[in-house]
Structure 1
């Protein structure tokens, strides 16, 4: 997948390096055991159409390019040129297809759906 930022095409890659970069900012530690939460955060951000999360995802996914866009260039792209909803949907599809992320994305989406169903059920029970 590619995005055009400031007139330049950038390849987005959602492999192991992407996961590692996302995990650097999103992880849990318990008794010395570190668990990466970067893919979880990416799925949540994309599902919620979060432009700040989207900017981080693009920044991490451009690791494969010799020259990468700056975070300010990405922010400007999202502010002026991007269809954020479409871009979130397209990137989520890429994450669902990538060998490195597809199993975890499937789990995260299932967990989100189950949580939403439980919340709806509780809300209905309270209103009765």
Structure 2
């Protein structure tokens, strides 16, 4: 999946590296110990159309983008100023995630 942020193409990839980055951004941290859980915490919020979680997901999915990796502020601004149908962006991201081999089982189990 590709989006354009600040006039630059950004590839979003939803693989293992995405999950690790999402754990850093949105995971469970208790007294300095990281427990991961970024994906598990984010799926219900993404399905509920939480824009902050969408920003975290996009930011994490862009982590492997070598040409240009947007900052968290860039992604927040992208969502704040999104001119197309934001609901469709949520749907497109969820659809891409559901097709990614590394996380499709987690998404399927979250819906059960």
2:104 is the alignment partner of 1:102? yes
In 2: Cα distance, 1:64 partner to 1:6 partner:
18
Runs of at least 5 residues in structure 1 that lack an aligned partner in the other structure: 111-128
In 1: Cα distance, 2:35 partner to 2:104 partner:
18
Match of 1:123 in 2: none
Q: By how many angstroms is 1:74 displaced?
A: 1.0
1:8-61 Cα shifts (integer Å, max 9, x gaps) = 1100000000111112231377xx8x6431222231122011111111111100
CA RMSD of aligned residues (A): 1.8
2:76 is the alignment partner of 1:75? yes
Judge conservation of contact 1:51–1:84 (CA < 8 Å) in 2.
no
Q: Which deviates more from structure 2 when the two are superposed, residues 74-83 or residues 47-56?
A: 74-83
Scaled by the length of structure 2, what TM-score is found? 0.85
- State how 1:33-112 maps to structure 2 within 5 Å: 35-66=35-66, 67-82=68-83, 83-110=85-112
| Aligned residue-pair number | 107
Scaled by the length of structure 1, what TM-score is found? 0.75
Judge conservation of contact 1:49–1:84 (CA < 8 Å) in 2.
no
More helix by share: 1
- Return the structure number with greater relative CO, CA threshold 8 A, min gap 6: 2
Runs of at least 5 residues in structure 2 that lack an aligned partner in the other structure: none
